[in-house]
Structure 1
Amino acid sequence: MMLDSSHNQPRGTICIEDLEIGMRRSLTKQVTDRDIELFAEVSTDRNPVHLDDSYAQDTIFQGRIAHGMLTAGLISAVIGEQLPGHGTVYLGQTLKFMAPVRPGDMVTAEVTVLAIDHAKRRVTLETTASVGKTTVLKGEAVVLAPSRKFD
């Protein structure tokens, strides 16, 4: 397994046979202006609250914010790269956006195993993202986990 950076845990796969309730993985990433610009380009979401300082100053956020789905994408990275990891199939995700993420914020995305259905290979995961002690996103994901029986 290789490390993505000093803030992140090893990448790879944890097969469903090796998962345990309470298992947790995370990554930390600074959200940059470039990230926001690239996300706007890829998603075609060019809402000026993300891209225009003067416009964003007059909103409830009083400044530019990152796209909520950019933050949610960090959750996807933890699921797809670490827990369960490579070979995981996303089946569903709930999201509740709690607070804004601003350019320059260090976001920690964390995934925790809540339930395991071995018969269906389904795993329920608690998903959160935070900036410091502030939870900016929370939700729950259901995934189809890789299994050694199907390799």
Structure 2
Amino acid sequence: MLDNLPRGTICIEDIEMGMTRHLRKVVTDEDIEMFAQVSTDRNPVHLDDDYARDTIFEGRIAHGMLTAGLISAVIGEQLPGHGTVYMGQSLKFLAPVRPGDMVYAEVKVIDIDVAKRRVKLDCHCSVEGKKVLIGEASVLAPSRKFD
């Protein structure tokens, strides 16, 4: 299940401080398997129930970068959206995401440099109201001047 706001582009000229966008997505076993396939990260903590049960997590977890990818989806599809260039991202993982968890991913504008088309975004993901990932992203926003 994916719940999100309309996709598209918000140009630098229309971005405002405090603006937010988000999505919600249930992380499935299939998502985890596909991410393992694409990334080649086949750590058994993500894929093997028996192995994962004996770890600090006491069960399988999604790849942290799969969760972080939801932040990328909000940035690339909603704020600023299509045409955005990712320049940097800091991440801190606070808790695991498990198969079946509904992840809420949100970005919020915390700094804008219109002349340079740069936007800084506060980013977080949460499960059931508990933050599982926090960070900041720096992006180059699209501009109507370059259409």
Which range, TM-score by smaller chain? over 0.9
- The answer on 1:121 being equivalent to 2:120 is no
Deviating above 6 A after TM superposition, structure 1's stretches of 4 or more consecutive aligned residues are none
- C-alpha separation between the residues in 1 aligned to 2:116 and 2:137? 15
- The answer on 1:22 being equivalent to 2:18 is yes
Aligned residue identity for 1:90: Y
Q: Name stretches of at least 5 consecutive residues in structure 1 with no aligned partner.
A: none
Q: Could you tell me how far 1:132 is from its partner in structure 2?
A: 1.0
The one-character-per-residue Cα deviations of 1:37-70 (angstroms, maximum 9, x if unpaired) are: 0000000000000000000000000000000000
Q: Could you tell me how far 1:22 is from its partner in structure 2?
A: 0.3
Q: Secondary structure at the match of 1:128?
A: strand
The one-character-per-residue Cα deviations of 1:104-126 (angstroms, maximum 9, x if unpaired) are: 00001000000000111000000
In structure 2, which of residues 114, 127, 131 is the aligned counterpart of residue 131 of structure 1?
Answer: 127
Q: Could you tell me how far 1:34 is from its partner in structure 2?
A: 0.2
Q: Name stretches of at least 5 consecutive residues in structure 2 with no aligned partner.
A: none
Q: Could you tell me how far 1:143 is from its partner in structure 2?
A: 0.1
In structure 2, which of residues 62, 65, 87 is the aligned counterpart of residue 66 of structure 1?
Answer: 62
- C-alpha separation between the residues in 1 aligned to 2:117 and 2:129? 33
Give the TM-score of the pair, scaled to structure 1. 0.96
Q: Secondary structure at the match of 1:72?
A: helix
- The answer on 1:150 being equivalent to 2:114 is no
1:85 aligned residue: 81
Sequence identity percentage: 76
Q: Could you tell me how far 1:15 is from its partner in structure 2?
A: 0.3
2:93 aligned residue: 97
Aligned residue identity for 1:66: A
